[in-house]
Structure 1
Amino acid sequence: MIYDFVVCGGGTAGCVVAARLAEDPSVKVLVIEAGQHNENLENAHMVGGWSQLFDKETDWNVISEPRPAVNNRQVKLSRGKFLGGCSGCNGTLCVRGSKKDFDDWNLEGWSGDEFWKYMSKAETFHDKPWFNVSKESHGYDGLLHTEPHDLAPISNLLLESMQSKGLPYDCDMFSHGNNPHGCGHSTRTVHQGIRTTGADFVTDKNRRDNIHLMLQTHVDKVIVEQDANGELRAAGIRAVGPDGAVVEVKAAKEVVLAAGAYCSPNILNRSGIGAGKELEKHGITTIVDLPGVGKNLMDHLRLGTNSNFARRCQIVFMFYETDKPGITNDHLVYHGDSFGKTYALWKDEKKGFLSTFPFGAFAFARLDERLADSSVWTSAPREPGRDPMGLTPSQPNIEFFTTECYGGPKQFDQFPGDGKHAFSIIAELFSPRSRGTVALHSSDPTAAPLVDCNYLADPLDVEVLAEACRFGNEIVMQGAGTKDIVKGSWPSDLVHHRYTTREEWIPYVRDNATTCYHASGTCAMGETSNPNAVVDNKLRVRGIKGLRVADCSIMPTLNGGHTQMPAYGIGEKAADLIKETWLRT
């Protein structure tokens, strides 16, 4: 089989790349996806069904290595294993970050202003009458449909509390990216009660005859050959089909890896492109020695240094109980026979609780003043104009977001029954200082990656995240909208609602920090002078012609936000870079 372009990975970015390349009807594009088609996965279309895609064949089922900084816990790193990938099971959030996040990459063509346009290119935004939109920050012609989320009463109360604690209201601040300290709304990848995903770019009304999907097929390696000039070139791929049969596909023009931050580096590794000493352990011959492959892992459990290869982040849930009925959405899903009615409403009308993701209000915050009494913070080294995390005053230290009912990762399973009501505020740390790695368990292409997240290894990360939790608790317990409605922590055996010092929060952080599913950075982009760079600013893999990486693994530092919109932007940008090379008209 011969195609012009072979895209390895049918997730968020890979589907965008394929769709845009196939706009030229003269080319043939193959998308290889390890999982199944999403068309019959109800929980990938029903927004509220997201968690039912985990811990089964629709999940890569990656689990982090235990680390002492998180009390030797292992964290479940669920990733979507089906067409559309994580865009089919994420929180639907469009939190772009700050333009300075991308300016800091200091790479030609990737400034904040330039990259903002690519994120917007993917989008068709649908407004609502109550939403004060930043019109110039959105796109209106893309294949990804987005809209604002109508808040439950608890979220409006939390917005009131945030404002009373010094976070001014700025409705669409998570789209325009110019405000590091305020509260507002995150738009969502939902429209008319249905989740919109990367798969929408290559299916249904957007399906094209020159795109071929090869599903339930694991990419083993890139086939590398020497061209007539003696240079190494990606000639195609070798993969393993659902029946175990080996498949080889030729790429007349390019191979594009879009398998995500866990799988793209390991495809490179199995291809002999990686750190030579590590490849030797698995009997793999080194073709190009690239020590940066699989390094610099970032993941909101985000950790990083001031260098160009270093940002990550961590989140902590803080749940509270209220005895005021009707302000959370628990009664729509946990009380009596409510779930059956809720499900029927979505099936019949695409409305109700299951047509949305239960996140509510959002905020960014700077913590400079709150950390002024911290010796860990004040004694830490910093570059001129930046704080110890490497951030300027125009970039937030943390994000707060809230839930409109009880729920989150699988460990949060003590659901409030009849007469019980709960909600949470979540603290997410930007630009911490520790970072992790992705490596091979073995040379088996179907094996899950070996992921060492190295969470909270640096004391400064713990210090700042603990302060974020303290601030979040103050918002709930002292804020004007919520101070009189909180009964206590949920579940009731926790007492975090009583914590007042940073020191009290540190053990809670180590015991409860979890991932935000924003893995990135493991095939980082950089200048040719950077020995740890895996791809250049055109996304070309060093030392191999005709091979690019196009997913969040190319991010040298992680944006202070969420990775969904950057993933779409990377796909759009990658397609234009490829077109510049091959499809000039």
Structure 2
Amino acid sequence: MTTDKFYDYIICGGGTSGCVLAGRLAENLNVQILLIEAGPDSADLENVHMVGGWSNNFDSETDWNIETEPQAGADNRQIKCSRGRFLGGSSGVNGTLCIRGIKQDFDDWQLDGWSGDDMWRCMNKSETIHGKSWFTPSVKDHGYDGPLHVEPHDLAPISESVKESMIEQGLPLHEDMFATGETSTGCGHVLRTVYQGTRSTAADFVTKEYRRNNITIRTDATVDRVVLSEELGGLRATGVEMVTKSGEKVIARARKEVIVSAGAYGSPAILLRSGIGPKDELEKVGVTPKVHLPGVGKNLLDHPVCWFFYEVNKPGLTNDHLIHHDNGYASAYQLYKEKKTGILSTFPFGIFAYTRLDEQLKGHHLWDKAPRWEGRDPMGLTLSQPNVEFFNTELYGGPKQWIDFPSDNRYVVGMCTVLFSARSRGSVTLRSRDPMENPAVDHAYLSDPLDLLVLTQGCQTINNIMMTGKATKDIIKGSWPLQRYHHTYTSQEEWVPYVKETVTTCYHPGGTCKMGHITDPMAVLDERMRVRGVKGLRVVDVSVMPELNNAHTQSPAYGIGERAAEIIKEDAKRTYKL
């Protein structure tokens, strides 16, 4: 066992929130910070910086390679839950989408300092927006001097057609609706974490012009556990034990705090290996319980998603020819290498929309008989919050299991339905105390019948828009690939088998170390992100979210990192008189 030097703050995880937190804490040049990342440095990982190479990071050492337990609600399939395993984490493999949600999503947490306005201010702080002549942003809902560079996406012709059908069918255009947090029904453009053809990631907070000498970045080191020491009045986090790529065990010591930022799967696993969690679960895998916190690893949340594809009868509407036809990929790669432009410099998602489904679901016995709070629907949402999100692909593509590429000069558009406010709750548990073994992840997708109802209704709704909208109905040739589930289905019930067979993850896990009030026995953290029962220990990533935002989690992950830095600096002034 090797002992490293002392640091003021040790951050366990160099993903989105961890890099933001490290960068912001390092603004105080009097503190020393250790940032530990299990994977490699991302500086030379081409498929991180080249947006179109995103999926090449999966199923390799740059992916945590997590698979769920068999999911009863998804035909007993195991679903791949890829996460970025390198400096920058999943900000380097995601869809680059900046979709914040509705301010009410964060107000619903009912935690001091975590309102919608608080989160908007923090998300703005991370960002620098770059405009385009055709896009009119909401000026007050963006940042202009943060390390994260974002810009709008130029739509392919197929996306313009989808947009027209959405507008015609009752989803009006609000150009920047995914930044304002005010619109539950409509379509709009989504800013992307891309600038000048290159992905912008959380690693930018601690590298390039933001590299500071008071941050030590240790890559290829997996955190095993937090070192807990007895002190007067209870336990304190005093360090971290990690395992290097060569197998060496190293202990680093913390003068002030240890912050766990390993994500919705990794953060609870680190706490559990440290003896913090449900007592009976810890004893089963041979970990000595030190703090009984039954909520660690529980409340696992995600946004289930369903994809389906249509063949298009006109060439040039989608971008398939730029990748799938002839030597398309080779030409696209050469263009990217030479000019940082072309199809590989962006992410092939098009127009996005939110909608509520009250009218479509009215009359269904599950929906009508489900309990609800006053002013809320059965999913717990107000009328200001969407039930589902829709978006289209601009060529054939999606999860890696989709392999029916239209290489024979055919053209395909995909539609996606994302379920918000899923009622199903999953868990993360240890298989063993070995830090190199992934935890057991059970998302329990569609285990609640209301989740299946709303998701299938969403699929039917966007299919109806595509098949009846004037801009799209005449360009759809048929489903892709040919299968027994297809675009001619007209009832919600007909979509059920298809959804159960194909539902997958939207890569938005959260909630497994949730913040909450002292009266909540399942809350792992207080509203200042402190682990209950341990001094000097916090969790900072999307695992702290009591409920997911009705959107994507990239922007909130940046906001959580920013808000945590503010809180830690405030607490340090009181405690250490800095």
Q: TM-score when scaled to structure 2?
A: 0.98
Q: Distance in 1 between matches of 2:437 and 2:71?
A: 22
Q: Percent identity?
A: 57
Whether 1:578 and 2:568 are equivalent positions in the alignment is: yes
Whether 1:161 and 2:165 are equivalent positions in the alignment is: yes
User: 2:198: which partner in 1?
Assistant: 194
Written as runs of structure 1 = structure 2, the 5 A alignment for 1:40-189 is 40-189=44-193
User: 1:207: which partner in 2?
Assistant: 211
Written as runs of structure 1 = structure 2, the 5 A alignment for 1:488-527 is 488-527=478-517
Whether 1:281 and 2:258 are equivalent positions in the alignment is: no
Written as runs of structure 1 = structure 2, the 5 A alignment for 1:195-344 is 195-227=199-231, 229-300=232-303, 314-344=304-334
AA partner of residue 521 (structure 1): G
User: 2:477: which partner in 1?
Assistant: 487
- In the alignment, is the contact (CA less than 8 A) between 1:298 and 1:520 conserved in 2? yes
Whether 1:21 and 2:25 are equivalent positions in the alignment is: yes
Instruction: Compare 338-347 and 487-496 and name the one that shifted more.
Output: 487-496
User: 2:369: which partner in 1?
Assistant: 379
Q: Distance in 2 between matches of 1:19 and 1:411?
A: 36
Q: Distance in 1 between matches of 2:560 and 2:71?
A: 31
How far apart are 1:433 and its partner, in Å? 1.1
Q: Distance in 1 between matches of 2:89 and 2:353?
A: 27
Q: Distance in 1 between matches of 2:71 and 2:504?
A: 13
Whether 1:529 and 2:519 are equivalent positions in the alignment is: yes
Deviations, residues 218-274 of structure 1 (Å, cap 9, x unaligned): 1010001122x2321100111111111110000001000000000000100000000
Q: Distance in 2 between matches of 1:197 and 1:168?
A: 31
Q: Distance in 2 between matches of 1:378 and 1:21?
A: 50
How far apart are 1:418 and its partner, in Å? 3.1
Q: Distance in 2 between matches of 1:7 and 1:233?
A: 16
AA partner of residue 123 (structure 1): E
How far apart are 1:318 and its partner, in Å? 1.2
- In structure 1, list runs of 5 or more residues that go unmatched: 301-313
AA partner of residue 532 (structure 2): R
How far apart are 1:495 and its partner, in Å? 4.1
- In the alignment, is the contact (CA less than 8 A) between 2:74 and 2:446 conserved in 1? yes
Q: Secondary structure at the match of 2:534?
A: coil
User: 1:448: which partner in 2?
Assistant: 438
Q: Distance in 2 between matches of 1:71 and 1:192?
A: 43
Q: Secondary structure at the match of 1:76?
A: coil
Q: Secondary structure at the match of 2:162?
A: helix
- In the alignment, is the contact (CA less than 8 A) between 1:295 and 1:522 conserved in 2? yes
How far apart are 1:494 and its partner, in Å? 4.5
Q: Distance in 2 between matches of 1:581 and 1:166?
A: 48
- In the alignment, is the contact (CA less than 8 A) between 1:331 and 1:418 conserved in 2? no
- In structure 2, list runs of 5 or more residues that go unmatched: none
Q: Distance in 1 between matches of 2:439 and 2:521?
A: 24
How far apart are 1:365 and its partner, in Å? 0.2
Instruction: Select the residue among 436, 443, 464 that pairs with 1:474.
Output: 464
Deviations, residues 148-204 of structure 1 (Å, cap 9, x unaligned): 000000001000010111101101000001000000111100000000001111112
- In the alignment, is the contact (CA less than 8 A) between 1:488 and 1:495 conserved in 2? no
Deviations, residues 297-321 of structure 1 (Å, cap 9, x unaligned): 0111xxxxxxxxxxxxx11001000
- In the alignment, is the contact (CA less than 8 A) between 1:390 and 1:431 conserved in 2? yes
How far apart are 1:282 and its partner, in Å? 1.1
Q: Secondary structure at the match of 2:378?
A: coil
User: 1:542: which partner in 2?
Assistant: 532
- In the alignment, is the contact (CA less than 8 A) between 2:485 and 2:498 conserved in 1? no
How far apart are 1:410 and its partner, in Å? 1.0
Q: Distance in 2 between matches of 1:539 and 1:217?
A: 24
How far apart are 1:338 and its partner, in Å? 1.2
AA partner of residue 240 (structure 1): V
| RMSD, aligned CA | 0.8
Whether 1:37 and 2:44 are equivalent positions in the alignment is: no
- In the alignment, is the contact (CA less than 8 A) between 1:63 and 1:74 conserved in 2? yes
User: 1:395: which partner in 2?
Assistant: 385
Q: Distance in 2 between matches of 1:432 and 1:17?
A: 29
Q: Distance in 2 between matches of 1:24 and 1:462?
A: 49
Whether 1:357 and 2:361 are equivalent positions in the alignment is: no
Deviations, residues 31-71 of structure 1 (Å, cap 9, x unaligned): 00000000110000000000000001000000000022111
How far apart are 1:449 and its partner, in Å? 1.5
Q: Secondary structure at the match of 1:369?
A: helix
AA partner of residue 516 (structure 2): G
- In the alignment, is the contact (CA less than 8 A) between 2:242 and 2:249 conserved in 1? yes
How far apart are 1:119 and its partner, in Å? 0.8
Q: Secondary structure at the match of 1:498?
A: coil
Q: Secondary structure at the match of 1:497?
A: coil
Q: Distance in 2 between matches of 1:68 and 1:445?
A: 28
Instruction: Select the residue among 350, 356, 372 that pairs with 1:366.
Output: 356
The 3 A distance-change label for structure 1 pair 242 and 39 is same
AA partner of residue 364 (structure 2): S
How far apart are 1:493 and its partner, in Å? 2.8
- In the alignment, is the contact (CA less than 8 A) between 2:302 and 2:422 conserved in 1? no
What is the number of residues matched between the two proteins?
571
How far apart are 1:576 and its partner, in Å? 0.7
Whether 1:416 and 2:399 are equivalent positions in the alignment is: no
Deviations, residues 491-523 of structure 1 (Å, cap 9, x unaligned): 123442111001100111100110000010000
Q: TM-score when scaled to structure 1?
A: 0.97
- In the alignment, is the contact (CA less than 8 A) between 1:71 and 1:511 conserved in 2? yes
- In the alignment, is the contact (CA less than 8 A) between 1:321 and 1:486 conserved in 2? yes
AA partner of residue 244 (structure 1): G
- In the alignment, is the contact (CA less than 8 A) between 1:4 and 1:253 conserved in 2? yes
Q: Distance in 1 between matches of 2:275 and 2:480?
A: 50
AA partner of residue 134 (structure 1): S
Q: Secondary structure at the match of 2:505?
A: coil
Q: Secondary structure at the match of 1:155?
A: helix
- In the alignment, is the contact (CA less than 8 A) between 1:95 and 1:174 conserved in 2? yes
How far apart are 1:373 and its partner, in Å? 2.3
